[in-house]
Amino acid sequence: MRSSSNTSRYGLRTDCWALTISAANTIIKTLPSKQFPPDFIFGAATAAYQIEGAWDADGRGPSIWDHLVHTDPEHITNKDNGDVAANSYYNYKRDIEMLKELGVSHYRFSISWTRILPFGRAHYINQRGIDHYNKFIDELLANDIVPFATIYHWDLPQILQEHGGWLNEEIVDWFADYARIVFENFGDRIKFWMTINEPWVHCYFSYGYAVYAPKIRSPGVGFYECGRNMLLANARAYHIYNDEFRSTQGGKVGIDLNSEYVYPASDSIEDIEAAKDYLAFQFGQYMHPIFSKSGNYPQRLIHRVAAASTAQGYNSSRLRSFDEDQINYIKGTADFLGLNHYFTKYVYRNSSVIGMFDVPSTDDDTFADSYMDESWPSTHAPWIREHGPGLHHLLVHIKDSYDNPEVYIAENGVSTTTGLNDPTRVSYYRSYLRAVLEALADGCNVHGYFAWSLMDNFEWNFGYSHRFGLYEVDFQDPNRTRTPRKSAFVYREIIRSRTIDYEYDPDPYAGGSSVLTSSLLVLAIVVVAGLFS
């Protein structure tokens, strides 16, 4: 996580920045919230390792996360692991029932690479893994839930990591073979695919700063190599779909990118440039090669890394360039953007940044620091504060900079501790969904929204200490019982009415009846009991 600094050093500004970072003629309208269009999609999201459990069942092979939690348990809060998690491998019918209860039409889940290919590569296919997802997809369809599948959500086969993982360019072939197998087996029924979840987060934390599995530390070289291989792997999978499956299956293939939104901390040129650089290093690195007209990395990313590399005595840039063929091969390789968004930052660059970061590293290449506005509501997750307008600005930035691509917000949400009363999550979802309504009013091509997450799950290094679920999961209970939180009732009502009712206050302890109704009920019982006493 980047360090945050004292907000009081800087004048805080919120509004005019979107005009700076977006095309100059953009006008952000702030309209009163109104209805979501009838074809707007509401969904909920999860990922295989975080919910499935059954880590070694039915021929599944070990992934880098199994390896990490089993060989280095102290690395995870409370030594938690995903061996059982929410046990969704067995509880999937209850999961689908929950989707029905919420009234969502789409479910975003991920396929576990090592259930399908226990040895990573395509020379051995585990039929029991295929059978499992067949059963699961059929059950979704029988319940009118549209599957929205992520092919890769960070659970790389451990054996491929032993051959370098995302740092070995051969992974483009390994991933392509795996993608072909899932298209072949499930593409008759899955019409929405996302190739890779959050290249930036995965490359930054897993291959840059040794935070997530496989804990490789190479922030100045590995981080960029990982991203480059992911861009090539996504492109290869996309072309395979085009060449071999699109005409018969007729689905869509997108990629899932995370992005914060950023405001410059002041009006200074330095801070405005720093904010643009920050976004180019995080979002632009993957967005520009795929979604821009020219293709390739953003020029400011190319120039900054090249300049830093030269100054450090490298013969060539640590960000390896793409040749013309590769630029064209990658350009346009997504039918839509899956966007994961959680928070907004202020970004600055001044002399205090000197000496702040490792050399070489992507943080040093970016050469900017960030912090959050302490007036934005804090949450259980220290890295998330509620600031819905950031999502509005980000969507306008995407519209203006990348020719208004089709966007699905594939993740958005916040963590709490245990308990069914989750006012911070209710407030967070309302704030960000209002931002989506405003972005729609500004003409942003947003087609859907997936809440992260359907249920509590294994939150990577934080184990079960951070709960992201609309449904609480009891991890002490062998059945892993799921119970809807207040936010689940609120989300259900937003989906049903297609509008945000700020007054609605359901009581999760009374099956979601409004707090007013349940208080009246309690009062009536007390009165009646009093009469008979």
Structure tokens at 398: 């995407």
Evaluate whether 351 touches 252 at the Cβ level (below 8 Å). no
Q: Is residue 452 close enough to count as binding ligand PNW by CB under 6 A?
A: yes
Binding mask 71-110 for ligand PNW (x = CB under 6 A): ----------------------------------------
Which of 238, 230, 192 has its CA nearest to residue 406? 192
| Binding residue for ligand PNW, selected from 52, 364, 386, 411, defined by CB under 6 A | 411
The continuous run of DSSP H or E covering 410 comes out as: strand 407-411
- Nearer to ligand PNW (CB atom), residue 360 or residue 469: 469
Amino acid at 357: F
Q: Is residue 340 close enough to count as binding ligand PNW by CB under 6 A?
A: yes
Structure tokens at 254: 């997108």
User: How many Cβ atoms are within 10 Å of 406's Cβ, its own excluded?
Assistant: 14
**Is there a catalytic annotation at residue 406?**
no
User: How many Cβ atoms are within 10 Å of 318's Cβ, its own excluded?
Assistant: 21
| Binding residue for ligand PNW, selected from 459, 472, 493, 507, defined by CB under 6 A | 459
- Nearer to ligand PNW (CB atom), residue 47 or residue 473: 47
Specify burial of residue 13 (Cβ count, 10 A radius: 0-12, 13-18, 19+): middle
Q: Is residue 297 close enough to count as binding ligand PNW by CB under 6 A?
A: no
The alpha-helical segments, DSSP class H, found in 402-514 are: 423-441, 486-497
**Is there a catalytic annotation at residue 472?**
no
User: How many Cβ atoms are within 10 Å of 78's Cβ, its own excluded?
Assistant: 10
Evaluate whether 54 touches 89 at the Cβ level (below 8 Å). yes
Binding mask 497-526 for ligand PNW (x = CB under 6 A): ------------------------------
Specify burial of residue 160 (Cβ count, 10 A radius: 0-12, 13-18, 19+): buried
Q: Is residue 63 close enough to count as binding ligand PNW by CB under 6 A?
A: no
Q: Phi-psi region for residue 118, left (φ > 0), alpha (ψ -120 to 50) or beta?
A: alpha
Residues 257 to 296 in contact with ligand PNW, rule: CB under 6 A: 258
Binding mask 230-259 for ligand PNW (x = CB under 6 A): ----------------------------x-
DSSP state, residue 474:
-
Catalytic member of 411, 459, 472, 493: 411
| Binding residue for ligand PNW, selected from 201, 216, 301, 455, defined by CB under 6 A | 201
CB of 116 to ligand PNW, least distance (A): 19
Evaluate whether 168 touches 157 at the Cβ level (below 8 Å). no
- Nearer to ligand PNW (CB atom), residue 1 or residue 531: 1
CB of 452 to ligand PNW, least distance (A): 6
- Nearer to ligand PNW (CB atom), residue 298 or residue 338: 338
Q: Is residue 454 close enough to count as binding ligand PNW by CB under 6 A?
A: no
Structure tokens at 64: 């880098």
- Residues of this chain that interact with ligand PNW (CB under 6 A) are 1, 47, 50, 197-198, 201, 258, 340, 342, 383, 411, 452, 459, 468
Active-site residues, by number, are: 198, 411
